[in-house]
Amino acid sequence: MTLVLSPEDVFASTDIPKMIDAIENGIREQATDSVEMPPRLNIPTTSGFFRIMPAVMKTSGVMGLKIFNGSVEHGVRYVIAIYDEAKGDLLTLLDAAYLTGARTGATTGIATKYLARENSQSVGVIGSGLEGRTNLAAVCAVRDISRAKVFSPNPNNRERFANEMSASLNFEIRSVSTPEEAVSGTDIVVVATNTTGQGDLIAYKGEWMESGQHINSIGATGGKLREINPECFSRANQIGVDSEFQVKAESGDAIAAVETGAWDSKKIEELTSLVTKPFNRENDHITLFKSVGTAVQDVMSGYAVYQEAKRRGLGKEINFLEHKLF
């Protein structure tokens, strides 16, 4: 039987700290070469893109893929399928719109755990949407955060974010009127913007970087999209990525950094290295995490949600893909 999970089921079955652990376990498994993850397939459509991201987790015993398509005009739709790796059974099909935001946040939490100063207490957030929320929640899961500021262009949205997240996280979050004010004097920055590729939408600039600060940038996952400028890459002392190949191939921010000479591979550490090897962070160093997402993150987070949904008795079981030809 296959468990089908609705958006409501996925939301109810998502626990950010548990998801951080699940994805980190997947990254550690990836570091042992027991994961098969080919480059994701990007296919242009008449209005946007169609993307397929598969991974086989041999130690965890699951495999799966995320399929998503979209455009600026029509939005994005996400589906994740998780299989039993040994038997081939389709365990779950789930709506992955919220899950994508949650796993992005959880991955930011992992990067922050290894790149930010241990005594970090404050966060500046640029962006008041879903991923601003999940990224801030994940940062708070790995650091003892006591204050935060948020900026987004819409005053109503940033006020709502500040009020709702203050209640959720049990500390004061202030809404501010400029991005510079949001990040000034903070230990950690989260840049989680709705990049569209239209106009100059650089949300965070390298000139705003401060000594000892850690910056997470999770937008600009398309070649024409932008969120941070090349100066961020040149000023950062260490740069974490989930996949150097994917980041350089797909992120407009990284592509611009390469084109302007701001990309320095000697600074780059993939998450597989950060979570498995000792990393000595200089207290005054600036660190940057640039994320585009990987199939490992999707499969491990999807499996974690599936397990929690089973425990809670959520979702609908259907008889699907049971027939065999041989």
Annotate 236-261 with DSSP letters as a single string: -SEEEES-HHHHHHH-HHHHHHHHTT
CA distance 275 to 182: 29
Query: Can you tell me the mean pLDDT for 97-118?
Result: 96
pLDDT band at 280 (very low <50, low <70, confident <90, very high): confident
In the block, tokens 């993150």 appear at 297
Residue 26's alpha-carbon distances to 35, 63, 189, 321, 325, in angstroms, are 9, 11, 25, 26, 32
According to the model, what pLDDT value does residue 324 have? 59
Mean pLDDT of 290-311: 96
pLDDT of residue 68 exceeding 80: yes
Structure tokens at 173: 């979050």
pLDDT at 246: 86
Per-residue CA distances from 189 to 28, 39, 209 (Å): 25, 29, 9
> How sure is the predictor about 311, in pLDDT bands with cuts at 50, 70 and 90?
very high
Question: Given this model, what pLDDT does residue 182 score?
Answer: 97
Return the minimum-mean-pLDDT range out of 70-84, 191-205, 246-260: 191-205
Q: What is the pLDDT of residue 72?
A: 72
Of 276 and 321, which is predicted with more confidence? Answer: 276
How confident is the model over 285-292, as a mean pLDDT? 95
Phi-psi region of 45 (alpha: psi -120 to 50; beta: other; left: phi over 0): beta
Q: What is the CATH number of domain 2-100+295-318?
A: 3.30.1780.10
Paired tokens of 123: 């966060």
Largest CA distance in the chain: 64
Q: What are the tens digits of pLDDT across the range 169-209?
A: 999 999 999 999 999 999 999 999 875 444 457 899 999 99
Task: Count CB-CB contacts under 10 A for residue 169.
Answer: 18
Q: CA 64 from chain center: how many Å?
A: 18
Spatial distance between the Cα atoms of 314 and 312, rounded to a whole number of angstroms: 6
Please provide the average confidence, as pLDDT, over all residues in the chain. 93
Q: Supply the pLDDT for residue 22.
A: 98
Report the C-alpha gap between 189 and 214 in whole angstroms. Answer: 6
Tokens of 97: 């719109």
Pick from 71, 72, 188, 171: which is nearest to 123 by CA?
188
pLDDT in tens, 108-167: 999 999 999 999 999 999 999 999 999 999 999 999 999 999 999 999 999 999 999 999
Check: CB of residue 261 under 8 Å from CB of residue 43.
no
d(CA 205, CA 290): 14
What distance in Å separates the CA atoms of residue 101 and residue 78, rounded to the nearest whole number? 11
Classify residue 36 as exposed, middle or buried by CB count within 10 Å of its CB (0-12, 13-18, 19+).
Answer: middle
Residue predicted with more confidence, 323 or 177: 177
| Continuous H helices in the chain | 7-12, 16-31, 97-115, 130-142, 155-169, 179-183, 230-235, 244-250, 252-259, 271-274, 295-312
Of the two residues 267 and 199, the one the predictor is more confident about is 267
Q: What sign does the dihedral 217-218-224-227 (CA atoms) show? A: negative
Distance CA 26, CA 19 (A): 11
Domain boundaries, the chain: 2-100+295-318, 115-290
pLDDT the model gives residue 200: 56
Residue 237 has pLDDT above 50, yes or no: yes
Class of domain 115-290: alpha beta
96-110 mean pLDDT: 96
Query: Which of 72, 111, 68 is CA-nearest to residue 295?
Result: 68
